[in-house]
């Protein structure tokens, strides 16, 4: 290994980062939104909240199957199941689309950077190549941050 331990440390770090990045985009508990319902007489009560991800949302289930009032949010809890968005959610706003694009870009560019770093285990890379790889990983970090 002409570069020493540095490429191996970077490969392990990049694999962990790519794995966590890919898994974070696949979950359906990416965003939690609570709501309050206000009635005409001025009283307000907690309403049904939503837990969603970039590609799917979380289903609700009764906390107690024997006595469940679906209108009462206290009787419902998040299930362990993710439901992909159907045709009802085909039109999303620009920010949601950009979050999806940056999520895909961060994973794709991370895998590209992982491939470039893997070559450093068998060949000696020039300083300019290392600078380009560092720049690529900075772009990956920026894309991952722009998902939020």
Model-level pTM? Answer: 0.67
SS3 74: helix
Could you give the angle at which helices 94-119 and 127-145 cross, rounded to 10 degrees? 150
* Tens-place pLDDT, residues 81-92: 788 877 767 677
Start-to-end C-alpha separation, the chain: 38
Q: Give the pLDDT confidence of 36-81 residue by residue, as tens digits.
A: 778 788 888 777 777 877 778 887 777 777 777 766 667 777 777 7
């Amino acid at each position: 290994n002409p570069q020493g331990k540095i490429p191996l440390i970077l490969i392990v770090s990049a694999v962990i980062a790519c794995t966590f990045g890919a898994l974070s985009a696949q979950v359906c508990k990416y965003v939690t939104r609570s709501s309050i319902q206000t009635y005409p007489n001025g009283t307000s009560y907690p309403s049904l909240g939503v837990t969603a991800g970039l590609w799917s949302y979380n289903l609700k289930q009764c906390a107690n199957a024997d006595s469940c009032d679906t209108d009462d949010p206290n009787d419902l809890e998040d299930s362990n199941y993710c439901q992909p968005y159907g045709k009802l959610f085909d039109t999303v706003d620009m920010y949601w689309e950009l979050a999806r694009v940056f999520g895909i870009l961060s994973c794709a560019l991370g895998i590209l950077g992982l491939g470039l770093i893997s070559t450093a285990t068998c060949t000696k890379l020039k300083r300019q190549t290392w600078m380009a790889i560092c720049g690529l990983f900075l772009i990956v970090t920026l894309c991952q941050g722009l998902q939020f």
